[in-house]
Amino acid sequence: MLKVELEMNQLAFERQSSLIAHSDSKMEATILCFTQPPRPPKLNPCSECGTFEITSGERFYFNPNPRVFEDRGGFLELKIQNKIGEVWQQRIRIDPPLNQL
């Protein structure tokens, strides 16, 4: 069984968040960043994007890359999947810096 506790559903610019996932099997967390409107397709993913192995019951921290969201808001897409195929997905909105509004 896969169960995920997310700290918050919305993040301010440069604010860290976390989650705790519980599973009977090994898990991976995948993080993808998206801006609104989208950035040009030639840009590479940021260093915070990727797939990371996580441990059941331990807090996993993630932080939106300030350079990605400095000009516009967007969202992080989180996906937690365990080895038996159960999946949890969530989009977390990222607000742009207040001085950019």
> 21-51 pLDDT, tens per residue?
999 999 999 999 888 777 666 666 677 889 9
3-100: CATH superfamily? Macroglobulin (MG2) domain (2.60.40.1930)
Say yes or no to pLDDT of 59 above 90. Answer: yes
> 65-92 pLDDT, tens per residue?
777 777 777 888 999 999 999 999 999 8
pTM over 0.85: no
CA distances from residue 57 to 26, 72, 78 in whole angstroms, order as listed: 11, 34, 17
- Residue 89 pLDDT: 96
Residue ranges of domains in the chain: 3-100
